[in-house]
Amino acid sequence: MSEVWSAAGLTVQVAEPAQEVYESLVAQDAPAKLAAKDPTLWGPDAQPEAAVRLGWVDTFERSRALIPQLAELRDELADLDHVVLAGMGGSSLAPEVITRTLGKALTVLDTTDPGQVRAALGDRLERTVVVVASKSGSTIETDSHRRAYWQAFLDAGLTPAEAGRHFVVVTDPGSPLSAVAQEMGAFVILADPDVGGRYSALTAFGLVPSALAGVDIAELIDQAAEFAPSIGQAEENPALALGAALSRAHYAALADDGSGLTGLGDWAEQLIAESTGKESKGLLPVVIETPTSPIAKTDHTAIVTMGGSLYAKTIPGSGVQPDISVNGPLGAQFLCWEAATAFAGKALSINPFDQPNVTESKENTARILESGLPSAEPDFVDGAVIGYGVGGSLEAAIRLLFTDQGYVAIMAYLDRFADAEIATLRELVATESGLPTTFGWAPRFLHSTGQFHKGGPQVGAFLQITGTPAEDLAVPGKPYTFGQLQAAQAAGDRLALASRQRPLLHLHLTDRNAGIKQLLGALKSS
Ligand SMILES: O=P(O)(O)OC[C@H]1O[C@H](O)[C@H](O)[C@@H](O)[C@@H]1O
């Protein structure tokens, strides 16, 4: 018998409710403590971080001040109607879902692929405003994008003063980026420092790029404000029911139910994977396009639909029976998932506000950029595919991924648009292995499931795909190119994963088109 929890037009339905977890969280006063932003809720180890990370509980109220400011900025920049957002993870995933859901155009740049960056730089430059968004102000990808755009504007004949007008910087007060932004003459909007990246949907990080793209942000804020009182309640608390149910799952297939909240799964993926995937615990989100995808049919996977039209275990005739459904307006969805994740963190006894293993790959990357790529002998060369660390042939290498338990993660350091076909590999791998299978474009996934891979339960099998770019691109003012940065990120993450002794297959495509076809062909015939 499923149960339903509703507040402010948002409904959570759970087919098999986690009643005992819900009751235990209520007994520990978790809803009231969360609503009161009490940092002791997650225990003494988490307390120092929680003390500066709970602003999201009511940040949307402070965000109202942005409404007139952003309307003014939009008028001032009316001639710049191509909005590019340079930001990683929590600094870009929310605006991506907001603008896609509300039908506004936003170019999100969260890649180091030279071809993809080059294509963005070549698109309507004279009409482009670049939102450079970084909480820490030190993220290497975002800094590289800022440099590339700055140089592109100068190369197009703009003076530095003219170029500065094409940048809007969103960052925390006092970050290195805030100082650089002053020098550039960019518009600077300081964000709420008491909110972590993945909880920042309703702060300046989510709202500035969305408003510049034409979204009515007041509506989102109202939706969150209306939902907010429910997170502190012991009864009729949708976020608590969702958090309790999530804390019991090992894998959650997050499916867009087709009702129009496009991309919410990618946003929730980062929130859940980075917040729970640590200390060998956590829940791996597997983002799928539709609830009927074969990828959702693997064992131990809870099917979670998000949107507004599907209800758990009650869909006549569609063949889809979600275990959990979350239906409601986007502003309320953001707050509900954030609170649910914080409750799940409590139930799992982890700190939902840190990401202890993300830095590992980043530090490896920084070292490799200084000292060069570690040399490795290929195990095989087969047409356009070079295989490393995997034995005799492409077919044998692929079989390595089919373990008898756990999950498979495919990580593509390629161009999300030009090399899009590689994503079809996931369905083949999931069908062949019967395992929950994720697909992540790099470096985007490093800021999301990347934490889970290294910090969560060590049961993953990893397929890393890299490819020689057709043409590289310099990172202005740095001794490396985008291609070298991309390769260093791949190598850095490989080192971090290899130390976990899990199956790790690295395939490098010397010709991307030919290599993708070959790889798909090998899987189809395996
Ligand atoms: O906003 P930034 O400081 O640039 O951070 C962007 C991303 O970087 C890191 O990878 C964190 O793990 C993410 O949680 C964060 O969203």
Q: How far is CA 450 from the centre of its chain?
A: 10
> 480-520, pLDDT tens digit by residue?
999 999 999 999 999 999 999 888 999 999 999 999 999 99
> 417-469, pLDDT tens digit by residue?
999 999 999 999 999 888 999 999 999 999 999 999 999 999 999 999 999 99
Instruction: Kindly state whether residue 300 falls inside one of the protein's structural domains.
Output: yes
pLDDT for residue 312: 54
Of the pLDDT bands very low, low, confident and very high (cuts 50, 70, 90), residue 292 is confident
The reply to whether 25 and 77 lie within a common domain is: no
The pTM for the full model equals 0.96
Instruction: Kindly state whether residue 353 falls inside one of the protein's structural domains.
Output: no
The reply to whether 153 and 251 lie within a common domain is: no
Q: Does residue 302 carry a pLDDT above 70?
A: yes
pLDDT for residue 418: 98
Atom nearest to 196 CA in ligand 1: 14
Atom nearest to 136 CA in ligand 1: 3
The reply to whether 254 and 292 lie within a common domain is: yes
The reply to whether 477 and 437 lie within a common domain is: yes
Atom nearest to 447 CA in ligand 1: 10
Instruction: Kindly state whether residue 45 falls inside one of the protein's structural domains.
Output: no
Atom nearest to 171 CA in ligand 1: 1
Determine the distance separating the centroid of ligand 1 and the alpha carbon of 91, expressed in angstroms: 7
CB 504 within 8 A of CB 389: yes
Which one has a higher pLDDT value, 521 or 405?
521
**Number of independent structural domains in the chain:** 3
C-alpha to C-alpha distance for 437 and 429, rounded to whole angstroms = 7
Q: Does residue 258 carry a pLDDT above 70?
A: yes
Q: What is the mean pLDDT of residues 228-235?
A: 97
Instruction: Kindly state whether residue 313 falls inside one of the protein's structural domains.
Output: yes
Of the pLDDT bands very low, low, confident and very high (cuts 50, 70, 90), residue 297 is confident
Q: Which residue's C-alpha comes closest to atom 9 of ligand 1? A: 447
The reply to whether 107 and 170 lie within a common domain is: yes
Residues 6+ apart with CB under 8 A from 205: 87, 90, 91, 94, 95, 133, 135, 170, 191, 197
Instruction: Kindly state whether residue 188 falls inside one of the protein's structural domains.
Output: yes
Determine the distance separating the centroid of ligand 1 and the alpha carbon of 139, expressed in angstroms: 7
Q: Measuring from each residue's beta carbon to the nearest atom of ligand 1, which residues come in under 6 Å? A: 88-91, 134-136, 139, 142, 197-198, 274, 355, 358, 447
Atom nearest to 197 CA in ligand 1: 16
Residues 6+ apart with CB under 8 A from 413: 113, 442, 443, 464, 465, 466, 467, 486, 487, 489, 490
Q: Does residue 44 carry a pLDDT above 80?
A: yes
Where is the domain boundary, 222, 257, 289? 222
Atom nearest to 93 CA in ligand 1: 16
> 54-109, pLDDT tens digit by residue?
999 999 999 999 999 999 999 999 999 999 999 999 999 999 999 999 999 999 99
The reply to whether 295 and 373 lie within a common domain is: no
The reply to whether 312 and 393 lie within a common domain is: no
The reply to whether 208 and 337 lie within a common domain is: no
Short-list 362, 358, 329, 324, CA closest to 344: 324
The reply to whether 469 and 431 lie within a common domain is: yes
pLDDT for residue 319: 59
Q: What is the mean pLDDT of residues 374-380?
A: 91
The reply to whether 364 and 434 lie within a common domain is: yes
Q: Which residue has the tokens 């510049």?
A: 212
pLDDT for residue 48: 98
Determine the distance separating the centroid of ligand 1 and the alpha carbon of 197, expressed in angstroms: 6
Q: Which residue has the tokens 């990618």?
A: 266
C-alpha to C-alpha distance for 171 and 136, rounded to whole angstroms = 7
Q: Which residue's C-alpha comes closest to atom 10 of ligand 1? A: 447
Of the pLDDT bands very low, low, confident and very high (cuts 50, 70, 90), residue 301 is confident
Q: Does residue 320 carry a pLDDT above 90?
A: no
The reply to whether 216 and 108 lie within a common domain is: yes
Q: Does residue 342 carry a pLDDT above 90?
A: yes
Domain CATH number, residue 160: 3.40.50.10490
Q: What is the mean pLDDT of residues 285-311?
A: 81
Q: Does residue 313 carry a pLDDT above 60?
A: no
Q: Which of 56, 85, 91, 140 to mutate to test the pocket of ligand 1 (most atoms within 8 A of CB)?
A: 91
Instruction: Kindly state whether residue 488 falls inside one of the protein's structural domains.
Output: yes
Of the pLDDT bands very low, low, confident and very high (cuts 50, 70, 90), residue 322 is confident
Determine the distance separating the centroid of ligand 1 and the alpha carbon of 126, expressed in angstroms: 29
Within 144-234, strands assigned E span 167-171, 187-190
Where is the domain boundary, 348, 381, 412? 348
Determine the distance separating the centroid of ligand 1 and the alpha carbon of 88, expressed in angstroms: 6
Determine the distance separating the centroid of ligand 1 and the alpha carbon of 137, expressed in angstroms: 9
> 185-194, pLDDT tens digit by residue?
999 999 999 9
C-alpha to C-alpha distance for 324 and 234, rounded to whole angstroms = 20
Determine the distance separating the centroid of ligand 1 and the alpha carbon of 377, expressed in angstroms: 33
Where is the domain boundary, 348, 376, 396? 348
Instruction: Kindly state whether residue 46 falls inside one of the protein's structural domains.
Output: no
Q: Does residue 234 carry a pLDDT above 60?
A: yes
Instruction: Kindly state whether residue 285 falls inside one of the protein's structural domains.
Output: yes
pLDDT for residue 315: 45
Domain region containing 280 = 3-37+228-348
Mean pLDDT of the chain: 94
Q: Please give the share of the chain, as a percent, with pLDDT higher than 70.
A: 97
The reply to whether 118 and 236 lie within a common domain is: no
Determine the distance separating the centroid of ligand 1 and the alpha carbon of 133, expressed in angstroms: 10
C-alpha to C-alpha distance for 486 and 93, rounded to whole angstroms = 20
DSSP reduced 3-state for 138: coil
